[in-house]
Amino acid sequence: MTTPRKILCLCQQYDLREMFGDGFKAHPDLELVLPDEVTDPTQIKYVLAFRPLPDAFDPLRDLRMVMSVGAGVDGLLLHPGLPSDVPLIRMVNPEQAEMMAGFAAWHVVGHHRGMLDFPAFQRDRLWKAGHCIDMPSSFPVTVLGFGNMGRAIGRALAAMGYPVRAWAGRARVEDGIEVLAGEDGLRQVLAEAKAVVGVLPLTDATRGFFNFRTFAMMRPDALLVQLGRGGHLIEDDLIAALDTGQLARAALDVFQTEPLPPESPLWTHPKVMVTPHIASDSSGSAVAAAVYASITSHESGRRPEGLVDRDRGY
């Protein structure tokens, strides 16, 4: 019987084996292990990680691959102990993208139809109906970032009748959606959108992307749905934009500091909906399948799906 490949779980917040371990039962040749179970670090060739401790990689002298449990890899790219020559793999899971699309659509429809106001109406026993609602065709949506997640979001909203345009690093038409690029393209898509969905990768160019300057480009009746990375958003600038009427509402699933500190004003701001980084997730079986595919591709000399270009940051 072949000795299972040991895959070290590195995460300072969660027990990845507890979260995803059931999915690995279908792959008996893979074994998830925790740091305190490793007696010989040279046996560890593969790591499954999400926000590992600063010294987590130090004992690993024969590391072949690091796999992220999420689509975002900025925390790993910036990790001081991850060797630059070790392949880094991000999670690519179509179902995860569809979950993200459903989450984004829920917020867009909620803002469009005024549904987010009804919990307060119910609390106050206020029967308030009959207000005029634009048809979806009159409610343009912009998706910032058009990778795996952005394409799924764009397709879902377009299928519901919303005019969708996107902004990314390269102009093109994809899945019937026009993708603009550059500063002029950004100004155009932000100026027209009644909802803006952010799923950009976090790079040096996009860090602090949502700030006074970009909020000034947006409509005052627009919704921001921020699902990318916490580092995209200058939170104080958002609060100022909401307080001055530069922006109508924000739905935030990612934050500069996670968990969001109890003293953050975002918790109680009347125009902000906070969710705890749950816009999309992967099942144990999906994570296990992705890990198995990445390892077998790597060992056979093929390029694993989701291989990160370190120069681009994703």
Query: Looking at residue 4, what DSSP letter applies?
Result: P
Question: Token pair of 17, please?
Answer: 């084996």
Token duo for residue 153: 């979001």
Annotated active-site residue in 51, 113, 219, 277: 277
- Sheet harboring 172-174: ordered strands across? 172-174, 177-180, 164-167, 141-144, 195-198, 223-226, 249-252, 272-274
For the CA atoms of 183, 185, 187, 191, what is the dihedral angle to 10 degrees? -170
Gap between the Cα atoms of 221 and 196, Å rounded: 11
Query: Does 229 qualify as catalytic in the annotation?
Result: yes
What letter does residue 117 receive in the DSSP assignment?
A: G
Q: Which of 17, 229, 232, 298 is catalytic?
A: 229
Q: Is 277 labeled as catalytic in the residue annotation?
A: yes
Angle at 50 between CA 48 and CA 55, to 5 degrees: 90
- Residue type at 136? P
Q: How many whole angstroms from its chain centre is CA 107?
A: 15
Residues 6+ apart with CB under 8 A from 146: 154, 166, 167, 168, 174, 177, 179
Residues serving a catalytic function are 229, 277
